[in-house]
Each structure stands twice: as structure tokens, then as C-alpha cells.
Structure 1
Amino acid sequence: MVILYILENSTMSITVNNLVTSDLAKRDTDPQDRRYITISLTGSGHKLYESIEERMSQYFEKIFERIPVDKKYQVLESMQYFLRLLNKFAERSICPKLVKDSSEIIEELLESDCKGTGMDE
């Protein structure tokens, strides 16, 4: 699950500066309007992101494996409810796509992990 944080502009600027200095992100100025800057990951940034995503997936899979079978559906359903609430607030936030992606992951888990357990009805 992705945790959504709203950061102050100064905190965001410092974070972006550190990522750029570490060659994990780059800034590109819009040629049409120099007031707009696009920030994107570099090749190194993408590699690090993918590594973190993989480790987080493994971490949450280990946790999920420890949930008793008869409780998995209840946990996933509660997470889905929580993410729906986050979506309502995320519509006004700076990164609604993150919450949407998490919701899709929960949907996939509900569809796959509960089939054949009697909880998929």
C-alpha cells in the first residue's frame, strides 16, 4: 500500500535537489513556458525505484502470508474500503495516481488470493 504524504514546498524542493544531486532525478524546463519544470527519474532513479518496489512487494507478501486464510478476505476488504476513502481525498491532492494504483493492487489480491477458499462469493 502506498502512503500518501502532502509535503511543504520547501521540503519538496530540498528533496528534489537531493535527488538531482544524486543523479536519481532530472529537471527539464518546458521549452514553451520556462515557468514549468518537469521532474523525472534518471536511469539510476528508475533502477532504485524498481529495487524498492520489489523489496516492498516481498515485505508485504511475507506479512500477507501470515494472515490466517479465513481472515484474508476481511483484511483485503478493509484495505479496499480504506483506499476508497483515500481516493476521495486524493482527488484534490498532488498525486491521486498513487492511491489509484494501490486500489488496483488490492482488487487483484481480492480476485486471486481468495478464489477457492470459500471467501470469493
Structure 2
Amino acid sequence: MSESILDFQLEQAIGLNVNRTAFLMTEEIARRFAEAGYAVTAQDFGILFRLMKQGPMTQVEIAQLLMRDKTTITRRIDGLVKKGLVERNPDPADRRYFRIGLTGEGDRALEVMIPLVRDFQTEVLSDIPDEEKAITIKTLKYISEKLMNNKRG
């Protein structure tokens, strides 16, 4: 085997570390949501948060915004409808589509969940200097943009 293959250190790969960190963070925030009485995932929270910020959207718009496939988003929304956190309403412009919007219960859930997420972020990142956090975010955004541009081109 060539020396370059033997020198490769998987533990130093950005993708491995980003995935591992994301997994651990999503598991922990889901645990905290459950403790607060909301059996939702981090992905569910992402849907709820986007609906709060941007208003009702179609499932296709949500899937594109969150960079998930339509089937996954449909399943997530079905679960959120069953929990009474979102509702499907016919799109007034095109009756073939539904617009997904928050319910009153969804609004109340976000009033609990947003502080949990904020506190969790603060707790996890408390020992990291602001400059290092900014560099990490800038680097990850750069990698994401590069990958999205490669996908388009």
C-alpha cells in the first residue's frame, strides 16, 4: 500500500466529526424535548421553527429549505399533524397543494423548545471562544457552499 493511504487518519476527517457531533447533539436535544413533554426530533423542531419564521409553506418548500427528500418531510409532517403541532390547509392559489402551518399548540411548543435549544447551545459551546465558534461556522458554511455549487454545476 502506498504511504499516503497508510497515513490517512479517519478521526481527522471533517465529515466524520461533523456527523458524530450532529448525531450527539440531535439525540441530546430530542431527550430534552421529551423531558419537557414534547416527543419531537431535532428535524421536527427545524420544521416548526421554519414555519414560525416564514409562515405556512408547501411540503416541497419545506423539503427544499431543509435539504431533505420529500418522503422524509411527508413522514415528519404526518407525525407533527398527529401531535397537533401543525396542520395542512388547502393552498388558496392551487387546490392541488397543501400549505403546512403551525397550530396554536405548535406555537406553544416552540415557546418551550426555543429556550431549550438556546440553553443547550450555550451550554455545549460555553468553553469555546467566540472567535473559534465564528471560524468553525465560517468554515462549515464555506464547505456547504462549495458542495452545493458542485452539485449545481
Match of 2:136 in 1: 78
Question: Structure 2 residue aligned with 1:39, among 88, 100, 103?
Answer: 100
Question: Structure 1 residue aligned with 2:117, among 56, 66, 84?
Answer: 56
How far apart are the structure 1 equivalents of 2:142 and 2:112? 28
- Which amino acid in structure 2 is aligned with residue 55 of structure 1? L
Q: Which structure dedicates a bigger proportion of its chain to helix?
A: 2
- Which amino acid in structure 2 is aligned with residue 64 of structure 1? L
Question: Structure 1 residue aligned with 2:70, among 2, 5, 9?
Answer: 9
Structure 2: gaps (5+ residues):
1-21, 23-41, 44-64
How far apart are the structure 2 equivalents of 1:50 and 1:86? 30
Match of 1:108 in 2: none
- Which amino acid in structure 2 is aligned with residue 17 of structure 1? D
How far the C-alpha of 1:34 sits from its partner, in A, is 0.8
Comparing both chains, which one has the higher relative contact order based on Cα–Cα distances under 8 Å and sequence gaps of 6 or more?
1
Equivalent pairs: percent with the same residue? 23
How far apart are the structure 1 equivalents of 2:77 and 2:125? 33
Under a length normalisation based on structure 2, what TM-score does the superposition of the two structures give?
A: 0.46
Structure 1: gaps (5+ residues):
93-121
| Per-residue CA distance 1:25-77 (angstroms, 9 max, x = gap) | 0111023321121001111112212322211110111222222xxx4312322
The CA RMSD measured in Å over matched residues stands at 3.1
How far apart are the structure 2 equivalents of 1:87 and 1:51? 32
How far apart are the structure 2 equivalents of 1:87 and 1:36? 30
Match of 1:106 in 2: none
SS at match of 2:109: helix
SS at match of 2:92: coil
How far the C-alpha of 1:12 sits from its partner, in A, is 1.9
How far apart are the structure 2 equivalents of 1:84 and 1:48? 33
How far apart are the structure 2 equivalents of 1:79 and 1:49? 24
